[in-house]
Structure 1
Amino acid sequence: MSTVDEVYEYGQDTFNIPERGEIRIEGCPSSIMDQLRRASFTQESPGVFTKSQEALDSDQEYEVVTVTVDGDDNEILHVEATDIVGVVSLTPSSKVQVDPKIDWEHIFDMLLAVYDQNRSIEYHGIPLQDFLSDDIHLDDVFVVLAINYLDGLERIQRNGYIRDLVIRRVNSLDGRGDIDVEQTLLNHARGTIEPHWIRNETEYNNAANSLLHYAGKTLLRLFRQKSSENDHPAYDRIFSEVHREVERLESMGVDSGLDRMDEYREISLHDLPKQRRYYQKAFDVSKAVMSSSLGQQLRDGPRELVVDYVLNMESLFEQYSQVVIERELNYIKSYDHLGDLDDVTPVRSPSVKPFEGEGQIYHEPDHALQEGDETIAVLDSKYYAEGHDPVKESPSRSRLFSYAYLLHTERLAFLCPLLEPRRRRVAQTGAELQIVSPAGEFALDSYDEVIHDYLHGVLVENSPELEAFRAVAESDNHLCLDGVDESDLARATDMSGPFAFKDARDFSLQVIKAAADEYSWEVRNRYDLEQDGGWTREQIETRCERRYEHTTTCVPVFRRDGGQEWIDLYFIENGTGEVEMEGPLKLL
């Protein structure tokens, strides 16, 4: 056995275990193996029990916890966790909580991002933040899922539930619909006096609606389990609305159950008619609820159903990484004033089939950056513990290399939340393999930033002007040229445009006027500067005169840093596309 993180005495309601950790529980009763079975554990071998989570989009199962029964009288349990976090029933009267490597608050914000929500939204006039505890925890996830579930159902109600028309036939004296004359005459010939009726009935109990019903029932159970811990009136309101929607589905004849689980796994949004794509939000949330719910057990004492609820951190981190890639690429495109990135797209899990006619053989990297049919970079999300370098793990490294080979790209990256960032060069090909991770402690803002830096670094190789455009776009920075605004950056390489400096003296005056008159907090105008800004103007002119003014343009940027005000000059060489920054030049 590996190092034990904590030792507990049997009898507690909750046993905490760190992600990929191990705990030992002592003093267990002789009936412990029977209790594990009652809590839906599967016995894999003598004394070894597991609980697994089935993937929705494949036949794969993910192991959540493994329990090994030890001791002469089965009085000791060794509980080992994977990277699937959450609450899992250990026995009918106790549970194991698997705590993540990163803060619950970050996980919560990942979920908000994946489900396209944020903390500033309101639910029926009530800010989402009001529903949440001060110390963000797994319980808050239920609230977010429920709010998204209700929002998704509201869209469906506006557009209509999927229904099937079913033809019903019945012999009756008091029927409804149309009479089948031929069958009625046959009935009379056989001695049956009832006419034969045909009627069309609307049937709503299809797999899509049943999935929504299943998710609603699961959310209700989660709310009931936590109701004693939350007395916020808004919490009760959401519970009531979920309950109402479940009853609405039941009034339409929709039901659900574990016996339909295969239907839920197989159905996807693409199976629905195109005009029914408004199901997407409710569908996605229902799938998320279903994938995280490991089943139900009956508690001892009060006969109530208990739902295990877990989050697959590897899957969530991959989904969040895709959201960040898409968001940061959109931000980079927002300052691409030359339109170089119009055809660049982020692709999730692109399918690469190496053999013609054998579609069952394929490779799927987690993420790719593509320009048209060309792959610019391949990225794999790896939710690894600190110090676990995927580059040193042969299968992970080999997969990434195979993706690069098949997609003809030389930019490879592992996206990791907890590792030290590192850059490596492949000796044989010159390709670059990078560990993309925040330096220091993990935080979502810093992770978003390093993703932006990586994407920018990849794209700037073919679009070097992005270096100057990014400087202008950054917070507290300004395009520093009098009478020119950011929309004019579309002419950044135009030799007859505003960024040409054939008259260096006039150009420096435009820069100083914008800096002093518009952006500076230290002076009111350029006449408050030393020598009316003459020293800074000379520095600008000197740097302009070093360059050939007929093929070079200059994008001046005003910025604040460390309480000081500076001017940076970005020179764009039109012949080679190179960008060189000169500065910083101090305004005062």
Structure 2
Amino acid sequence: MSTAQLPTEVSITEREERVIQCPQGIEEQLKQAAFEQVETNVFVKRRRSWDGESEYKVVEARLDGDELTISAEDIVGIVDLTPTSRLQIRPRIGWSEILDMFLTVSRYNRSLDYQGIPIRDFLSEDVQIEDVFIVIAVNFLNSLDPLHRHGFIRQFETQRTDAVDARGRIDVERSLLNLETGIPKQHYVQKVVDYNTPINALIHCAGKSLLQLFQKSARRHNHEEYFRIFSDLNDAVHELESMGINGDGYNLSTYQQVTSGQLPRHRGYYKRAIEVSKMILSSTTGQSLESGDEELTMDYLFNMANLFEEFSQIVLDEELSKLESNPLYDGFDDARVEGEPQLRPYVDTNQAWHQPDHVLYKGDEPVAVLDSKYYPETRDPSMIRPDREQIFSYAYLLDVDWLGFLCPEGNGHRDLRYREGEVAIIGSNRNFTTESYRDAIRSYLLSVLEDEVDESQLIADFRDQTVCYPDIEEISVEEVLTREEFELEDLVSLSRSIFEGAISESDEVRVRRNLSKQIRFNLSRALKRALADHEEYDQCIPVFMDTPDEAADEDGEEENQWEGESLRLHFVSVGDSGDVADFETIDCFPLDWEGDRDDPPY
């Protein structure tokens, strides 16, 4: 064994391995740090969730001579590696993306399996409460629910008052004395309920500390769920204050003496609120509120694989809902994604089932089966035998040809050999962001349901034709909606740019000067008139047509008799979400370069 000592801090990224030199006697040190020996030279550390119902493998340590190989799972946080060395498991995606996923899941009140981490580790320089206070706030609010449901701890104070009429017990002796001294009032002894106990004051102080963090960080967050949590937290603190809980007369030393062990048996529901509140104050003040042997825990840690799966289901639902309400498509109204359905393979019993993560249906017919895999880009689930066999078994039971793995990073597909269909990898192109992940899922839904829904002419034009604007060659509908060039603000500038774009695309006219002044005037005036007549829309998206499509009127007669080059003008209104809310199309704006038409183009 090596005589080298382990560093006090060892860092590793989730789902990765790291080999370090270890000292003699490392086996006993691992056991002292709560590692369990599962076989010769193999040690595992597990952590339980708050409710104690779930247990997760956090890290595995394998000993080979004087080398210790550390393998991390999907649980992010800090744990003891040995009594003198700590192991920090870092997330492989950014904290901002993790919080975005968390806020999205929280909005739907989905439950996640949280893990605990000793507060003394949380007070290290590596993890700050500012990074995860939103998650902590959600847990703080959840810890208050049992208090509102079962009642707050209270104490009673005795007050005496002279009054003609009041509530309370009458002190006869003092009342008679009042009468003798000319005071025509009864003397009442009243019991006053006081909720401003040390335990409630601790909770109130923690809530105020979280509010300050929200106020300091408001500029860094624009997620609507952030402001909902802030509002709920603000309401919770005000409700405590309306009960007279304000912390007057108490300080940190008082809060340090508060422990869950002091609770009466029937007040056990206070335990989590006390622990979360002490963790918050310890983190915000930098002073540990541990007392005696009690070890505070904070529950910002969660199983990343579970979080990603929950987030994926929500994104599938939301993106499908957006497509259903998008006027550019028709036919999404009976499409849905069912999360974790139970597939029962046998007719005579329901005691056996398979459970995929997500199944896409069109009407009552399954279309695609999807599994969420929180894998790095370098790990392709379609090439991992257990994952591959699992999703093929789902496909067999559902009789579908579209199979997909939802991953944070990576994309592509593999065509099936013995039947039509594919196995797709759906995720961000490179670095994971929630926005790019949503885009990937949206694109996948469109491709899978392509034959089941109808697309608008605008979508078809973006695929098959050319957007008529100078210096723009390939662009998506989503990109156009964010471009100022197409806005109907400056009609003169927009019409000039469309006109120049048409000339550059034309095979009949190469330069502006080849057109007569009258033809330029007529076309420009007609184009500006068309734009002005649709100013109620936000944008005009012009498409150049070499040969216009022939549209038929209600009697089946060809409505468009123009055979030359033309423009198709799509006028679009953009909703608050940035998607198309409404649109209208001028199918044919003739580009009469020769002045052959008797009537104007528009």
User: What is the TM-score normalised by the length of structure 2?
Assistant: 0.54
SS of the counterpart of 1:391? Answer: helix
Match of 2:419 in 1: 429
Q: Is the 8 A contact 2:20 2:68 kept in 1?
A: yes
Match of 1:23 in 2: 18
Match of 1:455 in 2: 445
Paired with 2:30 and 2:328, the residues of 1 have a C-alpha distance of 62
Give the 3 Å change call, closer, same or farther, for CA 433–528 of structure 1 in structure 2: closer
Match for residue 46 of structure 2 among 46, 49, 52 = 52
Paired residues for 1:163-174 under 5 Å: none
Instruction: Show CA shifts across 1:155-174 (max 9, x none).
Output: 6766x3499xxxxxxxxxxx
Paired with 1:155 and 1:256, the residues of 2 have a C-alpha distance of 9
SS of the counterpart of 1:109? Answer: helix
Match of 2:165 in 1: none
Amino acid in structure 2 at the alignment position of 1:457: S
Paired with 2:270 and 2:8, the residues of 1 have a C-alpha distance of 28
Match of 1:439 in 2: 429
SS of the counterpart of 1:333? Answer: helix
Q: Is the 8 A contact 2:337 2:361 kept in 1?
A: yes
Match for residue 255 of structure 1 among 262, 265, 268 = 268
Instruction: Show CA shifts across 1:162-216 (max 9, x none).
Output: 99xxxxxxxxxxxxxxxxxxxxxxxxxxxxxxxxxxxxxxxxxxxxxxxxx9xx9
Cα shift at 1:469: 6.9
Q: Is the 8 A contact 1:19 1:84 kept in 2?
A: yes
SS of the counterpart of 1:102? Answer: coil
Q: Is the 8 A contact 1:477 1:558 kept in 2?
A: no
Match of 1:88 in 2: 79
Match for residue 31 of structure 2 among 32, 37, 40 = 37
**Is 2:407 the partner of 1:416?**
yes
Match of 1:365 in 2: 356
Paired with 1:582 and 1:61, the residues of 2 have a C-alpha distance of 67
SS of the counterpart of 1:403? Answer: helix
Paired residues for 1:359-508 under 5 Å: 359-419=350-410, 421-465=411-455, 468=458, 474=478, 477=481
Q: Is the 8 A contact 1:85 1:99 kept in 2?
A: yes
Amino acid in structure 2 at the alignment position of 1:546: E
SS of the counterpart of 1:40? Answer: coil
SS of the counterpart of 1:79? Answer: strand
Amino acid in structure 2 at the alignment position of 1:104: W
Give the 3 Å change call, closer, same or farther, for CA 516–531 of structure 1 in structure 2: farther
Q: Is the 8 A contact 1:105 1:137 kept in 2?
A: no
Paired with 1:526 and 1:110, the residues of 2 have a C-alpha distance of 41
**Is 2:113 the partner of 1:109?**
no
Match of 2:308 in 1: 317
Q: Is the 8 A contact 1:87 1:308 kept in 2?
A: no
**Is 2:575 the partner of 1:546?**
no
**Is 2:66 the partner of 1:64?**
no
SS of the counterpart of 1:66? Answer: strand
Instruction: Show CA shifts across 1:142-162 (max 9, x none).
Output: 52233113444566766x349
Paired with 1:527 and 1:12, the residues of 2 have a C-alpha distance of 66
Match of 1:13 in 2: 8
Q: Is the 8 A contact 1:8 1:24 kept in 2?
A: no
Q: Is the 8 A contact 1:379 1:414 kept in 2?
A: yes
Cα shift at 1:397: 1.7
Paired residues for 1:168-183 under 5 Å: none
Q: Is the 8 A contact 1:516 1:525 kept in 2?
A: no
Paired with 2:293 and 2:444, the residues of 1 have a C-alpha distance of 53
Q: Is the 8 A contact 2:359 2:370 kept in 1?
A: yes
Q: Is the 8 A contact 1:52 1:65 kept in 2?
A: yes
Instruction: Show CA shifts across 1:238-293 (max 9, x none).
Output: 9x9798999899578232799xxxxx9xxxxxxxxxxxxxxxxx9xxx9xx9xxxx
Cα shift at 1:306: 5.9
Paired residues for 1:559-574 under 5 Å: none
Cα shift at 1:16: 0.2
Match of 1:340 in 2: 331
After superposition, the CA RMSD in angstroms is 5.7
Amino acid in structure 2 at the alignment position of 1:522: S
Match of 2:90 in 1: 99
Paired with 2:349 and 2:490, the residues of 1 have a C-alpha distance of 62
Paired with 2:477 and 2:30, the residues of 1 have a C-alpha distance of 57
SS of the counterpart of 1:437? Answer: strand
Match of 1:202 in 2: none
Give the 3 Å change call, closer, same or farther, for CA 231–390 of structure 1 in structure 2: closer
Q: Is the 8 A contact 2:328 2:458 kept in 1?
A: no
Amino acid in structure 2 at the alignment position of 1:311: F
Amino acid in structure 1 at the alignment position of 2:432: F
**Is 2:493 the partner of 1:522?**
yes
Give the 3 Å change call, closer, same or farther, for CA 399–233 of structure 1 in structure 2: closer
Instruction: Show CA shifts across 1:38-90 (max 9, x none).
Output: 3221111243210124689998854221123454xxx7533222233222222
Paired with 2:147 and 2:442, the residues of 1 have a C-alpha distance of 39
Instruction: Show CA shifts across 1:302-336 (max 9, x none).
Output: 85526486432222221221121122112112215
Cα shift at 1:108: 2.6
Amino acid in structure 2 at the alignment position of 1:439: N
Match of 1:126 in 2: none
Match of 1:557 in 2: 570
Q: Is the 8 A contact 2:395 2:401 kept in 1?
A: yes
Amino acid in structure 1 at the alignment position of 2:10: F
Give the 3 Å change call, closer, same or farther, for CA 474–418 of structure 1 in structure 2: closer
Paired with 2:498 and 2:383, the residues of 1 have a C-alpha distance of 61
Kindly tell me the number of residue pairs found equivalent between the two proteins. Answer: 410
Q: Which has the larger radius of gyration?
A: 2
Paired with 1:150 and 1:98, the residues of 2 have a C-alpha distance of 24
User: What is the TM-score normalised by the length of structure 1?
Assistant: 0.55
